[in-house]
Structure 1
């Protein structure tokens, strides 16, 4: 059970997610997309790291905090533009989450830890940062992959899958292989993994 200050932090993050104008339909009801996304992140965190620290739980929930306010097309639609957009978002989301942590009486160290996780610092060395990366990859594979693969050619999809796989831990790989997928998506995963 999370202490009140952690729960209040999560509640404030969810209040921000609830303002997302983009909607996702779940069981015939509309839910703000980022609220739905953060709930999916939390679901996968419970599988990947059932005893996650409060800092990791908050970082997972805040990973896309107010992301819709900086749309992809606000940066050049090029590979460098994409990377600049992602870099800016990580810093912005970390800063916003840190501020919410401090507003809810978390210590400066706790707020900075949440920010470090959202910025994905020390990936591969820090177990909690790796857990966050695994969860983000799992949500992509579970939620976005089927639509994504329809919009791009096979070579690009296989490349992205390979890059995604390399970012994940063994535990992440294990969970990824349990995700139900269409035959087409399974074939693409098999093809990508044969080249890793």
Structure 2
């Protein structure tokens, strides 16, 4: 077994313990598999660090509950920062156990903490993978539960996080209503 497969299996084993289910499977496990599918599709020549970061994007997400953080934007941002750090720490442990060198471990951690988005190619690639995964599997259920204004706002925020190439690809791959497509047509802020 390769060290890549060893790392991916370890992430899957951790995520298989998610008590939350989606489509009859542990949520984090299914999300990681979907992230890997999009990573392989969007970036077929991705580094192993990027492939591992994609799979581990939500590793053990359920251990830090949003309800355990203060209400409001500040509480939400604190929760997201702590989640990113938790994901990076767990993936780093798994990569070390799989005999990855420090450079690859540091790279994956930076991706998971989103350090250098818009400046670091691999951090941006992970963000693009996250956005495509959201649009492909999670957008429709989200949109069905929220008012249209909130949906438009989320789509704008999603588009701003993406690279120019990814925004072009979204327009080619998804049939979006005009007001949502406009978010991907505009230059990223």
Cross-structure match for 1:142: 136
- Write the distance in 2 (CA, Å) between the matches of 1:143 and 1:66: 20
Distance 1:55 1:193, change over 3 A: closer
1:90 equivalent in structure 2: 84
Aligned residue pairs total: 187
1:47 aligns with 2:41: yes
Whether contact under 8 Å (2:19, 2:26) holds in the other structure is yes
TM-score in terms of structure 2 length: 0.90
CA distance in 2, matches of 1:139, 1:83: 21
TM-score w.r.t. structure 1 length? Answer: 0.87
**Over aligned residues, Cα RMSD in angstroms?**
1.9
What does residue 180 of structure 2 align with? 189
Q: Which of 65, 69, 94 is the aligned partner of 1:71?
A: 65
Quickly say closer, same or farther: Cα 1:194–1:5, change in 2 above 3 A: closer
8 Å contact kept, 1:101–1:111? yes
Using the alignment, how far apart are the partners of 2:71 and 2:145 within structure 1? 16
Partner of residue 21 from structure 1, selected from 15, 19, 22: 19
CA contact (8 A) 1:98 1:111 kept: yes
Change (3 A) 1:112 1:193: closer
Q: Does structure 1 conserve the Cα–Cα contact (< 8 Å) formed by 2:168 and 2:185? A: no
Q: Tell me, what secondary structure is at the counterpart of 1:51? A: coil
- Once residues 117 and 175 of structure 1 are traced to their aligned partners in structure 2, the CA distance between those partners, rounded to angstroms, is 21
1:126-151 CA deviation, whole Å, 9 max, x = no partner?
Answer: 11111100010111111111121222
2:119 aligned partner: 125
Name the SS of the counterpart of 2:177 in structure 1. Answer: helix
Report if aligned partners of 1:159, 1:192 keep a CA contact under 8 Å in 2: no
Question: Matched residue of 1:83: which SS?
Answer: helix
1 CA distance for matches of 2:184 and 2:98? Answer: 44
Which of 3, 6, 22 does residue 5 from structure 1 map onto?
Answer: 3
Provide the rounded CA distance (Å) in 2 between the counterparts of 1:90 and 1:194.
Answer: 29
1:180 CA drift (Å):
4.7
Query: Residue in 2 aligned with 1:168?
Result: 162
Query: How far apart, CA to CA, are the structure 2 residues paired with 1:171 and 1:193?
Result: 10
Instruction: For structure 1, list consecutive stretches of 5 or more residues without a partner in the other structure.
Output: none
Gap regions ≥5 residues in structure 2:
none
| Contact 2:168 2:184 (8 Å CA) reproduced | no
